Amino acid sequence: ALSYEAMLAPLDDFPAFAMAFFQQGGRGANVTTPFKEQAWQMVDILTPRARLAGAVNTLHWQNARLLGDNTDGIGLVSDLRRLAMIGDASRVLLLGAGGAARGVILPLLEQGCRIVLANRTHARAQALAAAFQAQGEIEALPYDALDDHTFDLIINATASGLQGEVP
């Protein structure tokens, strides 16, 4: 039987915590903020979408090797499509430039969405947009430039939402 249990990892040593879990018989794990980029760095094998995302939300221990995948984007896009919230050429404002944002960019671009990235640190948003430029229409704008634009959908991929704050 499959069991699923939430575990609180220490902020200062996620890799050691995760490896101890697998060494004690764990077979798979979901990874949440703020550990997705650390998980990406520690795996032996990355799926193509995880490699491009630079973040991992799913770990699988197999044959003494750690496989990392990123299912954030495909799950989100599947729900957005099912709910008719996005279509071809939808303009999406994506707030944040961390692991959660990285995981949803490619699936959104593959659906034909046009993405505007905004992040507290504009340089980080610019670097992230540049990393995905070849996959579709994506640009980074500072927060103060957003007033001149309209969007079909806004996605908050910042950690501020976890504390009940507005990004």
Given a contact cutoff of 8 angstroms between Cβ atoms, the answer to whether 37 and 98 are in contact is: yes
Using 50, 70 and 90 to split pLDDT, how confident is the model at 2?
confident
Residue 23 has pLDDT above 90, yes or no: yes
Would you state the pLDDT for residue 100?
82
- Per-residue pLDDT tens for 106-164? 999 999 999 999 999 999 999 999 999 999 999 999 999 999 999 999 999 987 766 66
The CA-atom distances, in angstroms, between 164 and each of 23, 108, 117 are: 36, 25, 21
Report the chain's mean pLDDT, rounded to a whole number: 92
161 in active site: no
65 half-sphere exposure, CB direction, 13 A CA radius: 6
Of 9, 29, 35, 36, catalytic: 36
Would you state the pLDDT for residue 161?
61
Q: Do the domains 72-163 and 14-69 match in fold?
A: yes
Residue with tokens 């404002």: 93
**Domain extents in the chain:** 14-69, 72-163
pLDDT, average across residues 35-61:
93
Is the four-CA dihedral 129, 132, 133, 139 of positive or negative sign? negative
3.30.70.370, 3.30.460.10, 3.40.50.10860, 3.40.190.170: which CATH number matches 14-69? 3.40.50.10860
Q: 99-113: b or e for each residue (b if 16 or more CB lie within 10 Å)?
A: bbbbbbbbbbbebeb
- Per-residue pLDDT tens for 57-87? 999 999 999 999 999 899 999 999 999 999 8
Would you state the pLDDT for residue 152?
96
Assign domain 72-163 to a CATH class.
alpha beta
pLDDT, average across residues 10-21:
96
